[in-house]
A and B are shown apart, each in its own frame.
Chain A
Amino acid sequence: MTEFYDKLEESFRNSFEPSSPPDDKMPPWTETQIVGKRLQRVDAYERVSGKAEYTYDVNLPDMVYGAILRCPHAHAIVKNVDTSAAEKMPGVVGVLTGKSPGTDIPWYGVGYGGGPMQSKLFDSHCRYQGEEVAAVAAQTPYQAYDALKAIKVDYEVLSFVVDQDEAIKPDAPKLFDAGNSTGKPMPNQRGSVEKGFAEADVVLEETFSTSVQLHAAMEAHGSVVKWDGDKITIWDSTQGVYDASMLTFARTMKMPYNNVRVICHYVGGAFGAKLELGKYTVMAALLARKSGRPVKLMLPREDTMLAVGNRPNARMTVKAGVKKNGTLTALQLTNVYSPGAYSGAASVGFLFQELYKCPNVMVTESGIYTNVGRARAFRAPGFPTGAWALEQMMDMLAEKISMDPVEFRLKNFTDVSQSRKMPYSSAGLKNCLTEGAKKFGWKEARAANKDTGHIKRGVGMAAGLWMMGSGGPPYTAEVRMFADGGVTLKTGAMDLGTGTKTVACMVAAEELGVPVENIRILNADTAITPYASSSGGSMTLASLVPAVRRGAWIVKRQIMDWAAEALGVPADDLEIRRDTIVSRSNPDKKRTLEQLFRAKGVMDVIAIGNREPNPANKVVMPFSAQFAEVEVNTMTGAVKVLRLVGADDSARVVNLKTYENQVYGGMLQCLGYGLLEKRVMDRKTGKMCNPNLYDYKVPGALDVPVDLDVVPIDLKDNECNNVGSKGIGEPCHVPTAAAIANAIFNAIGVRPAHSPMDNRTILELLGKKKRG
């Protein structure tokens, strides 16, 4: 198979390749035929029929199965690992420990921005329940798990700490020689909050906290690896075949980049947890080399919940000042959180610095290491958490000055980025607020009589933005048009289930003037498809589709030039209609692609589209405003979300259907964050109480509001990039939990400052209120 693709690659390189002068500007589309429509995914059949091949589905001849032995203790030193019995078990073909050759690989940074590596692939100092101690490969998964049990590990069990307040005490067990602090907090200040509080008519202070949320992707993490001499092919469940997987793997293993081929056509969920190289991938590779067999190593569900990431907790103290007329004067956030045992968390403060016009802002954040699984990026890292605090505080302020929450936010709206001091390319927040409120019927719902006995109704809203979502270079797409109008599109970009492939095909079809069915897309295979950075930060669409359009435009322009020459009309009078170039002014003047290509002696036209830089003097960010109606049973503490409306700005909507899917998914995942989801650590043993999908409560179909609606804020933005689109995957996930919290307050007059707002939290809050 490899040879076939190698040959194919070579033939492409020898093909005709027009160059594109960098100063060429493509005009924005005025009207579109395909882009903006509600189209089915190009891979819908594969996805629903089971034909789609996920990493889990990859089976190779002679393949064996890997499994990882994890430390059962919250904190321990591995004194000795005896694998002799395991090696003799039936079916076992390889065993790895920290003593095996090739395993001395540094892992996990500590300190600001990742910092120096402080751990190893197999580190003898295990800092949380779930750290890797050994790995085996065997002919069946069952044999592999049996072999893990036969490994005898001599642990020196250490005292541990899972609570951040305990961990920061001087006599707490230390995770690192330097102590448990991630570093001295560095306050980030704009203006002077003291001045702002002095100017305010109202100053409020409240502490908000959030629980740890787990990614809980449907497909577990894992890889299938196969060596071919000194070359390796990795089928990886990843968010980036290049950065997250191939490049990091090659550097880690000290291999040439092009000896590593990574493939990932389908991912069963990722949400940020698959943005980095997995230890399991390296272990699978080492086991495969040792055994001479391809290895599949997929993590069991428990392992994914213990060891491959989470959204960290936060304890956010917010102090805010406002004038009676609704002008914000100061915002101050102090956040203390734990990233777990190693660095890997995100700031929650940016929303405070950016969302509203406010001259005086101070953010101070400090992290404390604890003996629990490490945080990773998680859909809009830091933002749903920050919104939980900021957007509840905004409602508290609005109430205090007797202003409507939507009016209050509009009052503090700005079209200039507060942190970067430049205007937004499209400042969608105002539209999100006004159009969302209209769709929701905000004024009427807010004024409605809610007294229905012990079941109280309430409505609330919250806003948000996402700091990335602009996309940007480097990102490449190869567009290859055949003489019959068929187009092959190739890109290293991932489709995490968001619809990337579909929107890429739509943009190519739009630019080339051919039906979407004419486009065939190949993606996420480092041996075949050109470079694209990892899918994270809501960057994929806004990075990829401008590169696709650029590539398609170069191809089209080449063909138009040939046709103009052949027909004696100006190129801008021509358009492609399926497989024919036609003059708009004189439709009798036309040439088929076949005729044009034959005349030039080529079979196809290929161009590489590169993503242009983002505008130098504009800030590109997507915005969101979401509205919720809830019913709170004051007797049982049950919260039922009756209605959610998401008004989300991603500028031009490329595909209405995949846009809606993103917003629905973003809102529901954040609903889980607000109402249900919580990692529970046992403080006595340091073990996780709920490392499974029964006890860790991801919302199910019956927890989804029946009335779920989105309002696409389809703004014209000719400056962000040549397609005019921003990312949507994360901004739509930012305000939902806060909107629900505000609705709960509206219903019962009690503010749920702690997430999740489960029955227990609500009943305890109501009990406290009753007792005064």
Chain B
Amino acid sequence: MNNFAYVKAGSLAEAIKALSTKGAWLHAGGTDLLGCARNEILPVEKVVSITSLKQLKGIAAQPDGSIKIGALTSPAEIAASKAVAAKYAALAQAAAAVGTPQIREQGTIGGNVCQRPRCWYFRNSDIQCLKKGGTMCYAVTGENQYHAIFGGGPCFFVHPSDIAVALTALQAQISIAGPTGNKAVKIENFFISPKKNVAKENMLLPGEIVTDIRIPPVSGTTKSSFRKIAARGSWDSALVSVAVALEIETDGARSVRIALGGVGPYPWRVEAAEKMIVGKKLDSTVAAAAAEAAVSGAMPLRDNAYKLDMIRGAIEESLMAFI
């Protein structure tokens, strides 16, 4: 691990400036930065801490019925928030599923959404994989039981965030501050495919910082949930996770959004499954059909075809729980 400079930013402008140089990395919760540096997956020259920027903390209901969550808000606070639980159950559940109690207290929602992949080839300092500038993705023919079945190639990592999966189902928007000003993007446009840029997982440019996350208002008949399947009960990445947001009227489902975690390079919307539900009354047949549609187009590798069954099971369980 390299020696690095440490900057504690007193303002957002200062952080953006400090972050705009090569080898500068943001420090928010710091639950994984040191691990990334120790495993030499980041060339760390400078660490820019934004922990003292209090304006980036907290959950606030907005007049238009939406909710704004500061990027430095911890998963623990989100999981315990009544405002979140009342309208966005999927987010509360996803926040509660993050890491361990310590990580949920120390980590941040911004960091969670921007975290680096857990792929064991990427994390191995002895292996120069494609994502780190090497010539090949070792997962293609290697030990790929945890790797992508959707959207993979040329690199097959899966995005490790639980929270981002819930945010995708809830149509969140990411606010970004940077050297060229502020902007806001839909969460689906925030993440990028390895086909576009294999080195990165999101659109952030040097000097850019996620400042908050906004979730639009939901109707009174909207329900949502998040379900995570992992080997261990805590401190584990999802093998498969699923977030569902569903607007149910008496005559059937008006709108549905389903996003999967643990299966692709970003939270994976399964629109084919959503289409099976919209306009229909939710029952076991519809749930099974949606589950089946969700895996259409999946491209499993040698060792991860089990994720197809797992997706079917997780979606069916999630949908049946709304009945």
Q: Which A residues are within 8 Å of any B CB, using their own CB?
A: 72, 129, 145, 454, 633-638, 676, 680-685, 687, 689-690, 692, 694-695, 697, 699-703, 758-760, 763-764, 766-767
Contact = CB atoms under 8 A, between A and B. Distances in A.
B143 A682 contact: yes
12 contacts: A454-B317, A635-B314, A636-B314, A637-B313, A683-B143, A684-B138, A685-B142, A694-B236, A697-B232, A700-B234, A702-B232, A758-B231
Chain A CB within 10 Å, residue with most, of B100, B234, B303, B313: B313
A635 B313 CA distance: 4
The majority secondary structure among interface residues of chain B is loop
A759 B310 contact: yes
Given A682-B143, A687-B124, A636 B232 contact: no
B61 interface: no
Given A635-B314, A759-B306, A703 B233 contact: yes
Contacts of B126: 72, 129, 687
A364 to B, nearest CB: 31
B229 A638 contact: yes
A689 B120 contact: yes
A638 B230 CA distance: 8
Contacts of A759: 229, 231, 239, 306, 310
B312 interface: yes
B20 interface: no
Contacts, number: 92
B235 A685 contact: no
B13 interface: no
Contacts of B121: 682, 689
B127 interface: yes
A547 to B, nearest CB: 42
B110 to A, nearest CB: 21
A202 B35 CA distance: 56
Contacts of B240: 636
A145 B40 CA distance: 13
B39 to A, nearest CB: 9
A334 B303 CA distance: 28
B310 A682 contact: no
A684 B211 CA distance: 42
B141 interface: yes
A148 to B, nearest CB: 12
Contact of B310 (A129, A637, A692): A637
B313 A700 contact: no
B316 interface: yes
A682 B313 contact: no
A238 to B, nearest CB: 28
Contact of A636 (B143, B235, B313): B313
B299 interface: no
Contacts of A700: 100, 232-235
Given A636-B313, A759-B231, 20 more contacts: A145-B1, A635-B309, A637-B306, A637-B310, A638-B229, A680-B120, A680-B143, A682-B143, A685-B127, A687-B124, A697-B231, A700-B100, A700-B235, A701-B233, A702-B234, A703-B232, A759-B310, A760-B239, A763-B309, A763-B310
B132 to A, nearest CB: 14
Nearest to A677: B231
Nearest to B40: A149
Interface string B220-256: 0000000001011111100110000000000000000
